[in-house]
Amino acid sequence: MKQQNIRWGLVIFITPMLLWLLLLIVLPQLDMLFMAVRAENDLGEMGFSLINFKTFFFEPIYWRTFARTATFAIFVTFLTFVITLPVAFYITKVVSPKFQGFLAVLILMPFWVSELVRVYGWMILLRESGFINHFLVKFHILDKPVEMLYNDATMIMGLVYTSMLFMLVPLLSVLESLDNSLIEAAYDLGANMWTILIKIIIPHSMPGIVSGSIVVFMLTLGNYLTPNLMGGKNGLWFTEQIYNQFIASFNWNQGSAFGFLLLILSSVIIWVGLKLSKQKLGQVMQ
C-alpha cells in the first residue's frame, strides 16, 4: 500500500520547503559563484576568469580587510562568551527563583529593539557631543570632549552588544538543564569554583556555547551596520568592501567573488569550531 499511494502529507509539506530552499538559498548561491568566476576580457566580452579572486589576493587592502574581519569576529565571539557566561550563570543558578523569570525577560528585552536604534543609542552616548563627554567635561575630568566613536575598541564593543542575545539564550537554556547536584557533588569531592567551571559547567554547556558562538560569529562577520556606523574610517569591515563593489563600483562580479570568499570563510571557521568542540551542527542548532 505504501508503495502505490502517493503520500500526500509528504508532498504537501515538502513542496514549499523545496521551493524555498532551492529558489532562495541554493540557486542564488550558485549564481553568486557563477558571477564570481566571470569577468570581462580585453574585448569587453564576459567569460570565465579567475581575475576577481586574483584581485583579492594581490590587493593588500582586500585580503587585509578580510583577515582583519575574521580575526575581529573570532575575538568578538570569545568576548561575548566571556561577558555573558557569568550573567547566564547568575540568572539560572545564583539569583533567587523569585527574580529569575523577571531578570530573564528584562535581559532579553533590549534585543527585541532594532539593531539600528541600539547603535544609535551608543552613538549619542559616545560621540564628541555625546552624553558621556558632556558629563566628563562638566565634572572637569576632561578639558574638552574627545571623540570616542570611530575606533576599533568602540566597534568591538558595539558588535558584542549587538550579538549578546544570541549567546545568552543558548547559555541560559543549557545552564538551566545543568543539575545543581553535579555542582554540589564536585564541590563535595573537593573541587573549588574554578575547577567546577572548567570540569563541570563548561563541558556541560558545550552544545549551547557552540551554537551561541556560531550564531554570534556569523552575525558579526556579516554585520554591516555596526562597523559602518561605529568603526573607524580606515578600519574597513569586509561587508563594506562587498557593499562598495556592488553599490559604489557597480562591479558585481568582483562583489560576488568577495561574497563567495566570505561564505567560505564563515563555513570553514564554523566547521573548525565544530571539530574542535566535537559537536555536530544538527544537534547544536536545535
Partner 1 sequence: MQESGKDSIDLSVHNATKNFGDFVAVDSVSFDVEKGKFFSILGPSGCGKTTLLRMISGFIEPTVGSILIKNQDMAGRPPNQRPVNLIFQNLALFPMMNVAKNIAFGLERQKEKKAVIDKKTEEILERVGLPGFGEKKVDQLSGGQKQRVAIARSLIMKPTVLLLDEPLGALDLKLRDQMKVELKTLQNQVGTTFVYITHDQSEALVMSDHVAVMNNGIFEQVDTPQNLYAKPATPFVAQFVGENNKWEITIDKVSERKALGITKEGFKFSMPLEENLQNDDILQFFLRPESILLQPDPSIRDLNRFFVSVKTILFDGANSRILALLPQSRREIQISLPQNRQFDHIKIGDKIEAGWNPGSAITFPQEKVVA
Partner 2 sequence: MIRNLPQSKRYSLGFKIYIILFFVFLFAPLAITCVLAFNDSMFPALPWKGFTLDWFTGTSIERTGIFHDQINLDSIWVSFKVAFFVSIFSTIVGTMGAFLFEQEEFRFKQVLFFLMLAPLVIPGVILGISILLLSNTLGLFFEQTFGIDIALFRPGFWLVVLGQFSFITTIVTLIVSARLKKFDRTLEEAAMNLGATRFETIIHITLRYLKPAIIGGLAVSFLMSFENFNTTLFLVSSQATLPINLYLQVRDGSTPVINAISVLLITGTSILAVINLYFTKSED
| Contacts to partner 2 from residues 42-81, by CB under 8 A | none
Q: Residue 267, interface with partner 1 (CB under 8 A)?
A: no
Q: Residue 176, interface with partner 2 (CB under 8 A)?
A: no
User: What size, in residues, is the chain?
Assistant: 286
Least Cβ distance, residue 203 to partner 1 (angstroms)? 4
Query: Using the rule CB under 8 A, which residue among 120, 147, 153, 248 binds partner 2?
Result: 120
3-state secondary structure string across 237-252: CHHHHHHHHHHHCCCH
- Cα 9 to Cα 125: distance, rounded to the nearest angstrom: 55
- Residue 250 has φ and ψ, to the nearest 5°, of 55, 30
- Per-residue contact flags (x/-) with partner 2 for residues 236 to 275, judged by CB under 8 A: ---x--xx--x-----x--xx--x--xx--xx--x-----
Under 8 Å between Cβ of 30 and 22: no
Residue number, 44 or 190, with CB nearest to partner 1: 190
Q: Residue 218, interface with partner 2 (CB under 8 A)?
A: yes
Residue number, 180 or 234, with CB nearest to partner 1: 180
Hey, what's the cell of 147? Answer: 571623540
Query: Using the rule CB under 8 A, which residue among 184, 195, 250, 272 binds partner 2?
Result: 184
- Cα 14 to Cα 20: distance, rounded to the nearest angstrom: 10
Under 8 Å between Cβ of 203 and 186: no
Which residue ranges make up the site for partner 1 (CB under 8 A)?
179, 181-182, 184-192, 195, 199-200, 203-204
